[in-house]
A and B are shown apart, each in its own frame.
Chain A
Amino acid sequence: MAITIASLKKGQRGIIKEFSVDVVPLKLLEMGCLPGNEVALVQLAPFNDPLYLNINGSHLAIRRETACMIEIELI
């Protein structure tokens, strides 16, 4: 199984890999969620969803189902 943002544990970091453009909405890219950027999991909401991320200094929250679509490489 591929490693995605959804598999990050709190405090863990990863680098966003190329993703299939049809699944990731443009808005997410605009907010800084781009291939090559570093992503860290800051906090999980209750029931582990949504995820509070720090992507290269941009702080945003996305749902688990979206996080599952973004593959990363752990660092």
Chain B
Amino acid sequence: MAKHINVALIGNPNTGKTSVFNRLTGLNQKVGNYPGITVEKKQGTCKFGRACKVHILDLPGTYSLNASSLDENVVIELLLNKNDKDFPDVAVVVADVENLKRNLLLFTQIKDLGIPAILAINMSDRMKRKAISLDIPLLEEKLQTKIALISSRKNLGFDNLKELIENYNQLSTKPCMNASSISPEYFDRLRKAFPNQDLYKLWLVITQDVNFGKLDRNELKGVASFKTESVSNLKRLQQKETITRYQFINETLKQTLHIDTENAKDLRSRLDRVLTHKVWGYVIFFGILLLIFQAIFDWSAYPMDFIDSTFASLSEWTKNTMPVGDFTNLIAEGIIPGLGGIVIFIPQIAFLFLFISILEETGYMSRVVFLMDRVMRRFGLSGKSVVPLVAGTACAIPAIMATRNIENWKERLITILVTPFTTCSARLPVYLIIIALVIPDTRVLGIFSLQGLTLMFMYVLGFGAAIISAYLLDKVLKIRSKSFFVVEMPNYKLPLPKNVIITVIEKTKAFVFGAGKIILAISIILWVLASYGPGNFNNAEEIIQAQYASQNLSEEEIEMHIDSYKLEHSYIGHIGHAIEPAVRPLGYDWKIGIALVSSFAAREVFVGTLATIYSVGSDDEQTIKNRMAAEVNPVLGGPLFNFASGVSLLLFYAFAMQCMSTLAIVKRETNSWKWPMWQLFVMTAIAYVVALAAYQFLK
């Protein structure tokens, strides 16, 4: 019979836990969410021989079992709940050989829970260079465990690790130290109150309530209310526990770990001297930012053009080969352009995550946090806000999720609230088409294209809006939260290509299937609304034929009149006319009004919507552009898209909160509708006022 083993990978951040996971599972992995929360759940399977199937869960990185964030809480919830289907048969605790002391803290806690635990000491290939030697047998005895010396970089020691996992039932489940010594009297009382329970489990449930909040899923009901001690006393005990653990670890390592500091070569301090330098540090950081933007906007243009033309011809081909009818139209004009609108973003998103994951893998990101913290704090943000603000140029959704490691709630909330101002990739197609229409294609000083400069200005505007509103929010929000900031400065490492590639694939997939679903749905709905209508819509042909009967028009001209009559009397036409009074002062007509409204689902549908509305069969920008350029302002005459209305549209898109998915994420991350609603109304109001002012001033 096949043996089935549940393994949980646990470890501090920066120990290479995910590379170990990638090594063990290969591409046999699945990323989802834990039910009800937006914490990533990574799991995978691998086979040991024929008879043994292993399910591996990669738990979020944590420094201890005392959780202070949603991600860390997941680890404790799982380890305390024997009934969970993922409850591990064996825990593999991943440690970095250079940070063994700190990494062992978590290990001793897991041992205390009575879960069989293997210690996987990673990065063992660096031992020689760092002149580190370990007495493995003695360390195994002291920690009551089995140790696998591994290197995920060099692929060493994994056979040993797999063997240990397979024979997990030979592992000791005894704790390696006695945690209850921190207060024998208190633990005695606990034992008497709950005679059948594991003491350390009880202690975790109680302290977790103090640290983070009630645990949802655990079988120890009523324990959290067992607080015979005050909160500050419990905190004191937790500190005492940490100190006691470190004493044990220090004792143990003194006998087993030897570092010959004389022979240790130190790359870190030499690199740090440059990368965190007061001047060079910034120069290098901005250089890297420039490179990222160059990649996103220049290099990705080639694959994007290719995708664009491919989908346009695919749509054309469908129309020509499939039988004429509603179904063909739905596919050719609704679904294919809709899919194209999703796929076109893949190059940019992939490039962005390629860079972000390389920066994180190398350990450089922590240096950026260190460099930027003081500057960002002036605006009520944290050094850790840099990552979300940069990631926001791809998409606000992963950016907002990246705010989780900001400890201070006020700084985190402000970061969440202002991140949607940064120019996400969904705004890009809107900017591109409007800029192409209203900004003259000339060069400034002979080299810089005016259109390019305008695009850059839109990005600066987005960052500026984010920073200024952060500053205002910092002054306005009355949230008192204890300021506290700590960031680990990991060793520099060469990024592992496998890790980088897996991250890029995962994030791109998340975008395509997450945001993509909405974009596709909206495209189809729009197509339906524009293709059907009440009353006169269905008699369009007769009405137009009758109206122009005397004018002797060509068939083509008649056809055009019928199309525009149909659109005006379709469902979407009726909606557009209803909202026209609201958008008229901004310089828009009812068609742009519809594009604006549909953009509230997701901005990237703007171009697609105009394409559908202007009854252009393909999503090809040139044709849409020509149609847009030909549109006439119904009141003032002259082109509808002139400099004034174009600028007004650009500004509206720069400031307005038009993304349902972002609102949903903000609701989840702040656990209230208050903040997403605040974003929706305040940002959109700013957008309306600024666009109104710009149009009225420029027209």
Contacts and interface: CB of A to CB of B under 8 A. Distances in A.
B14 to A, nearest CB: 10
Nearest to A57: B101
Interface stretch (B148-156, B328-336, B478-486): B478-486
B630 interface: no
Contact of A58 (B101, B483, B485): B101
A29 interface: yes
Contacts of B308: none
Interface in B271-286: 272-273, 276, 278, 281-282
Interface string A28-47: 11111011000000110111
A50 B374 contact: yes
A35 B102 contact: no
B236 interface: yes
A56 interface: yes
Contact of B278 (A26, A27, A46, A57): A46
Interface in B223-277: 232, 235-236, 238-239, 242-243, 246, 268-269, 272-273, 276
B68 interface: yes
Interface in A1-49: 21-22, 24-32, 34-35, 42-43, 45-47, 49
Contacts of A45: 276, 278, 370-371, 373-374
A36 B383 CA distance: 29
B486 A28 contact: yes
A60 B101 contact: no
- Chain B interface size, as a band, is 35 or more
Nearest to A48: B374
Contacts of B369: 61
B66 A30 contact: yes
A59 B63 contact: no
B488 A60 contact: yes
- B-side binding surface: helix, strand, loop or mixed? helix
Contacts of A27: 63, 68, 407, 484, 486
A26 B66 CA distance: 9
Nearest to A51: B370
A-side interface size class: 20 to 34
B594 to A, nearest CB: 49
Contacts of B273: 43
Nearest to B272: A43
Contacts of A22: 232, 235
A41 B334 CA distance: 61
A47 B371 CA distance: 10
Contacts of B486: 25, 27-28, 31, 60-62, 66
Contacts of B366: 61
Contacts of B105: 30
A32 B407 contact: no
Given A26-B235, A49-B373, A63-B373, A56 B101 contact: yes
A48 to B, nearest CB: 8
Contacts of A66: 484-486
Contact of A21 (B63, B235, B281, B374): B235
Contacts of A52: 272, 276, 370, 489
Which 4 A-B residue pairings sit nearest by Cβ, starting from the closest?
A59-B489, A47-B374, A29-B242, A30-B64
6 contacts: A25-B482, A26-B66, A32-B246, A43-B272, A45-B278, A45-B371
Given A28-B486, A31-B102, 5 more contacts: A45-B370, A58-B101, A58-B102, A61-B485, A66-B486
